[in-house]
Structure 1
């Protein structure tokens, strides 16, 4: 049974006809890791923000539903939605330096959520923060909790964000390209850590990325997006064996080959881009007429 279901989700810029999401439908089962894949601007992060209720004020959802654990989030009052999301969902953001408040020490940036949303007392929340830093393999966790973000490396900051995301035992985590700002060696460590934490806690994970290599390592299913529209939905094994959509095949062909580091990159052919643009245009015509 799906823990999260999006059905026909469509969004646009307020006061315009500029479409950002086009009838997006996908689901994530309890404990599943689903990748959202596509080029920059495909709508991956927009989907994550729509689920979490943190879309920019300039964006509005105009159709569709977001059902989380049997409840349509679109039907809830803002305060009730925030309460439900705070207890059930969390975000691992893209840039650990900007995501952490530079003027506050690490400890309250983990514990405040536990105190304010779950009603824990401060001592219990601090004990949980210390436990989590140990779980994400941070040395000297007591010192780190007393530190400010600028005193820590990028890899340590990202581990703190992972610990914070898992702190309240959420049922769903949206990971928005969580390794983009890190070097390759640290990326590998962080991906391994996210996988360990996800399996240990049994959390459903929506993993936003443009890197198909990452998808092959951490995801069980994936949705390929172009222009705010899902063009392919598949399990990972079937996708890498035989992607069904021409755009998916072109993306896979364009990915760097780690077995051939000196090989040239293959751009997505213009004919494939034009064909998928026609699909997007057809979806827009359907939207306009109905």
Structure 2
């Protein structure tokens, strides 16, 4: 059985007909990396937030299931769901400049979850935090653990967020565009680090990104979304060999060619957008 199995997950703005997720189904096997790709607003981050139970109050789930290690999260009372998620999942958030609490030192921001949720002793949690900073290649971890976020670079802060995500050896990590706020050189380092950590720990990874180059480097499976609808679900190798859906092909064609910087950028054709929007509209009619 898959470690994470999402079936027909739907969500909308509360009290309206504005749909955000349209019958999303996907699986993540233990130790597997699945990419969620699509344009901004496609629903990628919404899926991650639905898994973690951190959807905005204005959003409600209207159907489907999220089965994590055999348990449907949507059937659990909120306290039990939080305990299960806290013990088995973690998040690498999008922006390292805002994800850390600016008024607290780095150390407690890593260790509090280990102590408060998982019941570790403070001494064991402190020792684990130093090991993790070594693992993410941060020099002088003792000094860094006593530092405040504003005293560190963006790349160091992102490494700390990665260390924090892996701290309790979760079975699933959701990486929500973790390189977006970083410059290109640091992005490459962080991607390499996430891939190495994932392989070393054997953690399942749901990687949310709009960057197909990232998918090619770190993912084995890929789900392409448009308007909250999965339009293609395939292996990464198959996708880059030749996607089957017209929107997937157009999305791939629109990717800048770094080997040919003089090449013109190709927008997604209006006819393709119209066709995939027709798919979205047809889905909505079926579920009404």
Q: TM-score, normalised by structure 1?
A: 0.99
Match of 1:104 in 2: 104
Match of 2:113 in 1: 113
Cα distance in 2 for residues equivalent to 1:112 and 1:263: 49
1:183 and 2:183 correspond: yes
1:255 and 2:255 correspond: yes
Match of 1:49 in 2: 49
Match of 1:162 in 2: 162
Match of 2:205 in 1: 205
Match of 1:19 in 2: 19
Match of 2:227 in 1: 227
How far is 1:97 from its partner? 1.4
Cα distance in 1 for residues equivalent to 2:117 and 2:133: 20
Cα distance in 1 for residues equivalent to 2:105 and 2:287: 48
Match of 1:70 in 2: 70
How far is 1:286 from its partner? 0.8
Cα distance in 2 for residues equivalent to 1:261 and 1:84: 47
Cα distance in 1 for residues equivalent to 2:121 and 2:68: 28
Cα distance in 1 for residues equivalent to 2:253 and 2:62: 35
Cα distance in 2 for residues equivalent to 1:155 and 1:285: 46
* CA offset digits 1:24-45 (Å, max 9, x no partner): 0000000000000000000000
Structure 2 unaligned regions, length at least 5: none
Cα distance in 2 for residues equivalent to 1:97 and 1:169: 24
Cα distance in 1 for residues equivalent to 2:39 and 2:62: 24
Q: TM-score, normalised by structure 2?
A: 1.00
Cα distance in 2 for residues equivalent to 1:268 and 1:15: 33
Cα distance in 2 for residues equivalent to 1:17 and 1:272: 24
Number of residues paired by the alignment? 288
Task: Give SS of 2:168's match.
Answer: coil
Q: Which runs of 4+ in 1 moved over 4 A?
A: none
How far is 1:7 from its partner? 0.2
RMSD: 0.4
Task: Give SS of 2:230's match.
Answer: strand
Structure 1 unaligned regions, length at least 5: none
1:86 and 2:86 correspond: yes
How far is 1:262 from its partner? 1.5
Task: Give SS of 2:97's match.
Answer: helix
Match of 1:153 in 2: 153
How far is 1:263 from its partner? 1.0
How far is 1:22 from its partner? 0.1
1:271 and 2:271 correspond: yes
